[in-house]
Structure 1
Amino acid sequence: MSSHDEPEMGPLLSSIGRLADFKSLDEADLPRLADEIREFLVDAVAKTGGHIGPNLGVVELTMAIHRVFDSPHDQIVYDTGHQSYVHKALTGRAGSFTALRRRGGLTGYPSQAESPHDLVENSHASTALSYADGLAKAHALAGADRHVVAVVGDGALTGGMCWEALNNIAARDDLKLVIVVNDNGRSYAPTVGGLAKRLAGLRLNPGYEPALEKIKQTVEKLPVFGRAAYAALHAAKTGLKDALAPQGMFSDLGIKYFGPVDGHDLDELTEALERAKGFGGPVIVHALTEKGHGWAPARADEAEQMHAPSAAFDPVTGEPVAASKRRWTGVFAEELVSQAEARQDLVAITAAMPGPTGVDALMRRFPDRVFDVGIAEQHAVTSAAGLAMNGMHPVVAVYSTFMNRAFDQTVLDVAMHRLPVTFVLDRAGITGPDGPSHYGVWDTSIFRVVPGLRIAAPRDAATLRQEFAEALAVDDGPTMLRFPTGAVPAEDIGAVDTREGLDILVESDGAELLIVACGSLAGIAVEAAGRLAEQGVGTVVVDPRWISPVPDALVKLAGQYRLVATVEDGMRTGGFGDALAQALRDSGDEVPLVDFAVARDWHPHGTRPELLADLGLTAEAIAERLEAEVARRGES
């Protein structure tokens, strides 16, 4: 592996400047190209972090798709898109992997701005089949001879949207639509539920392999074991599968099924995709792959198969190259177990992400009190409502960006029934390299309109523990905690005083400026106050701890100052600043308010510090603007 910043490319991969270069390669070169791609991906992602396990598993599958179909004339949609690195390399972008997921570089998902071969910039699961349904219907209406290929994982198939789409796709026999089920038995973690068991039945039918082996032995005795013999073997395999591994799960819907096929055998994949392309209607190709295929550290990682290391790692061992810091998720995981040991009614729900959300710690301690529902956030929330109705206190742990999907269930199934469900939103605010679809910037704006829902924003490890315990003590409605990704502050940000539930972090005598610091940006607000003090501007910094509904005590406090500023890492529109301004108006106080928050826009990928700087959410930028505001108001 290369030790330089530039990932090392083999001669075949380096010759691919566009998709046509790949398609012109000799068939005999393809196995070596697959090896080169794997070596290249490990070398590249080891430097930047990213989704390595999923991409190692789809090398041959992606190559076969691009050999059979003609992108972008034929449209390829990936679900969720994190397994598109091989696609990017084959479409001429291997030379840009130096800046993968870095500011100004390649995104970690398909991007229309990067290439005409990238169609859907999706990174939320279970959407590809709905996109594909619409795309194929549009081609049919236009009479266009174009195919749509949707690559969907078995994990994504646990999401309800997939089955809503399949129900509609099955009603049409004129759609040139090929659905490739990339079945590796996993999403982030092993795929769960009845679907997983059914797919396992197709993979492991006991009558199939012995019969196949007999035919293989017969074919191998033929004088020439070439493509003709291989074709005979493949035809025999297909017939056996029809007889011995009935495809009821898909064929009962009326969709033709080919498979299962070896997802790491280029010849077998190509043959299956050619047959699917020529069928003329919706077809499912069931490809069996191995997440992390070809790289020992990923295969040895039983928990997540090196799904998405967030930082650089050793390309040989897979171990992180930098010391691991204490993270927000880890603190929550510890407290979740501690609280579960103290109260028998606590249960946890996760949507296919026990490791990334910290729920795996409780799963190890009390496995019967954790429910992984698959990629099904809507079901997770309403299932939590049922648990709460029967005396449990569910903790629903999801990424902030994925909680958007379950708004209706939160409003009508949980809040309207005043049920004690605690939502824990990881990766709230600007998260960085994964880009705009993964930013957790909408949760405050969306969920603060829910009647009876209380939202907390811890600023450090100590307040995360305290506020989680406070949330669990609420028994007359739902609660929500939001915290960011990354490391918690090395030291807790202590309060100099606490008044009516408000933590005073900085207090200057005679101050006329109040800064209200929300959650993880409290440290930045405190630093801004220090800069202002150096310029002779006295400031009080307060952390309300619970940001929705706006505490009455905060409204009363804010009314005593000439200027109020709010600092948050959620959307400015409809965010905490908006809520406080409204509360001040309702109270009759005409206190001017400056709100520092995330602008309503699509923000690019980059590191969290880079993006916060772009958004003016740094101590220096906040202090500079507030100093100018204080001076301007002093002159008026």
Structure 2
Amino acid sequence: MDLQSIKDPSFLKKMNNEELEALSADVRKFLVEKLSITGGHIGPNLGVVELTIALHKEFNSPKDKILWDVGHQSYVHKILTGRAGEFDTLKKFKGLCGFPKMAESEHDVWETGHSSTSLSGAMGMAAARDLKKENNYVLPVIGDGALTGGMALEALNHIGSAKTDMIVILNDNEMSIAPNVGALHTVLGRLRTAGKYNWVKDELEYLLKRIPAVGGKVAATAERIKDSLKYLLVSGIFFEELGFTYLGPVDGHNYEELFENFRYAKKTKGPVLLHVITKKGKGYTPAETDKIGTWHGTGPYKVETGAFVKTPASAPAWSSLVSETVRRLAREDERIVAITPAMPVGSKLEGFASEFPERMYDVGIAEQHAATFAAGMATQNMKPFLAIYSTFLQRAYDQVVHDICRQNLNVFIGIDRAGLVGADGETHQGVFDIAFMRHIPNMVLMMPKDENEGQHMVNTALKYDDGPIAMRFPRGNGWGVPMDEDLKQIPIGTWDVLKEGTDAVILTFGTTIPMALEAAEILQKQGYSIKVVNARFIKPLDEKMLHELFSAKLPVLTIEEAVLQGGFGSYVLEFAHDHGYQNIIDRMGIPDHFIEHGSVERLLEEIGMTTEDTVAKLKSITPKKQKRA
């Protein structure tokens, strides 16, 4: 079938199961070929082909609301809703988003990038439907990994207690990004092997009611018998006790089973949980046999072999640099432990886990718990390293404030993917952490200029005993600089002058330092003398150096790959105001809107954060100079 001819899902209504099987094969072939060029979340999407097709055949989107938790498994949904022709632009600037996007289609009713939000959103939609006396189905599709998130459990509790009409699809593929962990995963494992439990109890009730009136006792005990049957047939009744009718487990690649259970769920009052078993990566051997999450999301690859197409790296990945330095220090200090909320692969903690399995904790998709768990360990004189992406740290904000900083505990937070991450777009850009962390009392926040300074910062953090400390670092690889053999401690709150100058000063850190140095060199040829400072400690500021700079009446330009509101530049402005300085201060950073997907370079151009923009800014705040001979 020509998938690019699809306009909406209505064509599915006339297809039989054999035709649907052929469509499934076409969709898988399309995904494998297209994503081999663009990269993307191939594993999750290959796993939900039949489930997505069945949902769109049995229900009527967008009247019926299909919500995709996390959203990285929505590619099949996008194909069926008329976007196959845009897949060449997947994750590119102004191209097809890798997650549901309301602006793209009326069928994208909920935008997601973080996990565990679909059930709460669905409950809101269902409650609004009921208040407006409308008639439609609400169908959140949530994975077994996302179900471990605290927000999902809160929503389950609310939905069950309110007895809201809703069909929750539990897409159980035994993995999130990495293999799932925890007690709930064990419960689901028992359910997978317990056999089907759905219609039996209702059929029993029907039979009991047909018995002649020989015993009101029989009728009176019907409910008790059904409950006993429930315990007999299901190895774990977690969802039933929460108020859901549990259906399944169902083979998520079998159309007959899916349609049979969808139709039964439609007739059931109150909340239904349909437990669907799928195979992540199904239909493409390299992805299907993946056991550690390598094929969850990938760059380009060769279809025939599954070999990834990568440019040889001249420097270690930042995640690896940080985790391996933590591992090195853990050999000397038995108090060091590593904690991750379901990201052991992304955070490059496999080596640490292999060497120190008893000191490695993967708590699942539970960022809030991870932060407070780290705090608890710190109260016992341990040295926890919390490895977490910037965008996921947002979810643990209260725990950082209330449990870590308020108690002034020695937790080292490694803020991975800080700054723009590019292709994953709005939900994953790590641009808010400075603004939401720098104002918290007791917090130390820093960012290195290169991987050599990075290893020294990790050492500094794990030897720091005066409270919480966090280090931001970007996605991708370092610069390939020479690495010191011996680790050093960097004095807290000290900056480093990288280039002297007398006309103006750039204060910046991390990924924007090369741009600042390049701009200073360009301006030097035009007669300007620009000082460049590595403001590696975002909090506390190097107040001694700031007093020197402001006293010298230098114009100041701050640059940060983070939001301007409440960020580093704001901190410098506050310092100047509080000490009565009147210097010209200008700022460059992320403007006050969400940054969509695209390459980091293209995004920086779009928001005016290039070398050319830096040169122009400096010229605008610096007294004009005659070109020097």
For normalisation by structure 1, the TM-score amounts to 0.89
Counterpart-to-counterpart distance in 2, 1:369 and 1:303: 19
Amino acid of the structure 1 residue aligned with 2:543: D
Once the two structures are TM-superposed, the CA of residue 501 in structure 1 deviates from its matched residue by 3.0
Give the match for residue 204 of structure 2: none
Counterpart-to-counterpart distance in 2, 1:633 and 1:269: 74
Match of 1:486 among 473, 476, 480: 476
Deviates more, 1:148-157 or 1:463-472: 463-472
When residues 23 and 528 of structure 1 are mapped into structure 2, their CA distance, relative to the original with a 3 A threshold, is farther
Once the two structures are TM-superposed, the CA of residue 438 in structure 1 deviates from its matched residue by 0.5
Counterpart-to-counterpart distance in 2, 1:543 and 1:344: 33
- The C-alpha deviation readout for 1:467-486, integer Å capped at 9, x for no partner, is 11111111121000111112
User: What is the count of residue pairs matched by the alignment?
Assistant: 588
Once the two structures are TM-superposed, the CA of residue 242 in structure 1 deviates from its matched residue by 7.6
Question: Is the CA contact (8 Å cut-off) linking 2:5 and 2:82 kept in structure 1?
Answer: no
Match of 2:309 among 318, 321, 342: 321
- The C-alpha deviation readout for 1:270-304, integer Å capped at 9, x for no partner, is 11111112213210000011111111111232210
Give the alignment of 1:144-543 within 5 angstroms: 144-173=134-163, 175-205=164-194, 243-246=232-235, 248-309=237-298, 311-325=299-313, 326-491=316-481, 501-508=494-501, 511-543=502-534
Once the two structures are TM-superposed, the CA of residue 587 in structure 1 deviates from its matched residue by 2.2
Once the two structures are TM-superposed, the CA of residue 67 in structure 1 deviates from its matched residue by 1.2
Match of 2:541 among 542, 545, 550: 550
Question: Is the CA contact (8 Å cut-off) linking 1:327 and 1:487 kept in structure 2?
Answer: yes
Matched residue SS, 2:141: strand
Once the two structures are TM-superposed, the CA of residue 432 in structure 1 deviates from its matched residue by 0.5
Counterpart-to-counterpart distance in 1, 2:166 and 2:296: 28
Give the alignment of 1:524-603 within 5 angstroms: 524-559=515-550, 560-603=552-595
Give the alignment of 1:79-90 within 5 angstroms: 79-90=69-80
Question: Is the CA contact (8 Å cut-off) linking 1:255 and 1:284 kept in structure 2?
Answer: yes
Give the match for residue 232 of structure 1: none
- The C-alpha deviation readout for 1:494-549, integer Å capped at 9, x for no partner, is 9xxx99832211124xx121111221211111111111111111011010211112
Once the two structures are TM-superposed, the CA of residue 146 in structure 1 deviates from its matched residue by 0.6
Counterpart-to-counterpart distance in 2, 1:316 and 1:21: 32
Give the alignment of 1:62-77 within 5 angstroms: 62-77=52-67
Gapped runs of 5+ residues in structure 2? 201-227, 485-489
Once the two structures are TM-superposed, the CA of residue 492 in structure 1 deviates from its matched residue by 6.2
Matched residue SS, 1:354: coil
Match of 1:95 among 85, 90, 105: 85
Question: Is the CA contact (8 Å cut-off) linking 1:208 and 1:241 kept in structure 2?
Answer: no
Question: Is the CA contact (8 Å cut-off) linking 2:561 and 2:590 kept in structure 1?
Answer: yes
Matched residue SS, 1:388: helix
Gapped runs of 5+ residues in structure 1? 1-10, 213-238
Deviates more, 1:585-594 or 1:403-412: 585-594
Counterpart-to-counterpart distance in 2, 1:617 and 1:270: 52
Question: Is the CA contact (8 Å cut-off) linking 1:299 and 1:305 kept in structure 2?
Answer: no
Give the match for residue 625 of structure 1: 617
Give the match for residue 136 of structure 1: 126
Counterpart-to-counterpart distance in 1, 2:326 and 2:143: 30
Question: Is the CA contact (8 Å cut-off) linking 2:190 and 2:236 kept in structure 1?
Answer: no
Matched residue SS, 1:284: strand
Amino acid of the structure 2 residue aligned with 1:47: I
Counterpart-to-counterpart distance in 2, 1:583 and 1:492: 35
Question: Is the CA contact (8 Å cut-off) linking 1:67 and 1:270 kept in structure 2?
Answer: no
Give the match for residue 97 of structure 2: 107
When residues 208 and 95 of structure 1 are mapped into structure 2, their CA distance, relative to the original with a 3 A threshold, is closer
Once the two structures are TM-superposed, the CA of residue 408 in structure 1 deviates from its matched residue by 1.0
Question: Is the CA contact (8 Å cut-off) linking 1:52 and 1:308 kept in structure 2?
Answer: yes
Question: Is the CA contact (8 Å cut-off) linking 1:292 and 1:305 kept in structure 2?
Answer: no
Question: Is the CA contact (8 Å cut-off) linking 1:528 and 1:620 kept in structure 2?
Answer: yes
Counterpart-to-counterpart distance in 1, 2:154 and 2:229: 30
Counterpart-to-counterpart distance in 1, 2:251 and 2:241: 23
Counterpart-to-counterpart distance in 2, 1:146 and 1:66: 14
Amino acid of the structure 1 residue aligned with 2:409: L
Counterpart-to-counterpart distance in 1, 2:625 and 2:432: 32
Counterpart-to-counterpart distance in 1, 2:143 and 2:306: 24
Once the two structures are TM-superposed, the CA of residue 360 in structure 1 deviates from its matched residue by 2.3
Could you tell me the percent identity over the aligned residues? Answer: 39
Once the two structures are TM-superposed, the CA of residue 240 in structure 1 deviates from its matched residue by 9.5
Counterpart-to-counterpart distance in 2, 1:338 and 1:449: 32
For normalisation by structure 2, the TM-score amounts to 0.90
Once the two structures are TM-superposed, the CA of residue 409 in structure 1 deviates from its matched residue by 0.8
When residues 505 and 568 of structure 1 are mapped into structure 2, their CA distance, relative to the original with a 3 A threshold, is same
Counterpart-to-counterpart distance in 1, 2:32 and 2:230: 35
Counterpart-to-counterpart distance in 2, 1:426 and 1:452: 21
1:25 equivalenced with 2:15 (yes/no)? yes
Counterpart-to-counterpart distance in 1, 2:269 and 2:333: 58
Question: Is the CA contact (8 Å cut-off) linking 1:12 and 1:33 kept in structure 2?
Answer: no
Counterpart-to-counterpart distance in 1, 2:109 and 2:530: 50
Counterpart-to-counterpart distance in 2, 1:629 and 1:556: 19
Give the match for residue 210 of structure 2: none
Counterpart-to-counterpart distance in 2, 1:44 and 1:78: 21
Give the match for residue 217 of structure 1: none
Once the two structures are TM-superposed, the CA of residue 250 in structure 1 deviates from its matched residue by 0.3
Amino acid of the structure 1 residue aligned with 2:269: G
Question: Is the CA contact (8 Å cut-off) linking 1:493 and 1:523 kept in structure 2?
Answer: no
Once the two structures are TM-superposed, the CA of residue 18 in structure 1 deviates from its matched residue by 1.9
Counterpart-to-counterpart distance in 2, 1:66 and 1:242: 34
- The C-alpha deviation readout for 1:288-325, integer Å capped at 9, x for no partner, is 1111111111123221050011x211122222213342
Give the match for residue 229 of structure 1: none
Once the two structures are TM-superposed, the CA of residue 616 in structure 1 deviates from its matched residue by 1.6
Give the match for residue 227 of structure 1: none
Once the two structures are TM-superposed, the CA of residue 333 in structure 1 deviates from its matched residue by 2.3
When residues 23 and 100 of structure 1 are mapped into structure 2, their CA distance, relative to the original with a 3 A threshold, is farther
Once the two structures are TM-superposed, the CA of residue 405 in structure 1 deviates from its matched residue by 1.1
Deviates more, 1:311-320 or 1:386-395: 311-320
Question: Is the CA contact (8 Å cut-off) linking 2:196 and 2:249 kept in structure 1?
Answer: no
Counterpart-to-counterpart distance in 1, 2:124 and 2:239: 20
Question: Is the CA contact (8 Å cut-off) linking 1:528 and 1:619 kept in structure 2?
Answer: yes
Question: Is the CA contact (8 Å cut-off) linking 2:520 and 2:530 kept in structure 1?
Answer: yes
Amino acid of the structure 1 residue aligned with 2:613: A
Once the two structures are TM-superposed, the CA of residue 434 in structure 1 deviates from its matched residue by 0.5
Counterpart-to-counterpart distance in 2, 1:192 and 1:98: 35
Amino acid of the structure 2 residue aligned with 1:611: L
Counterpart-to-counterpart distance in 2, 1:632 and 1:593: 17
Give the match for residue 604 of structure 2: 612
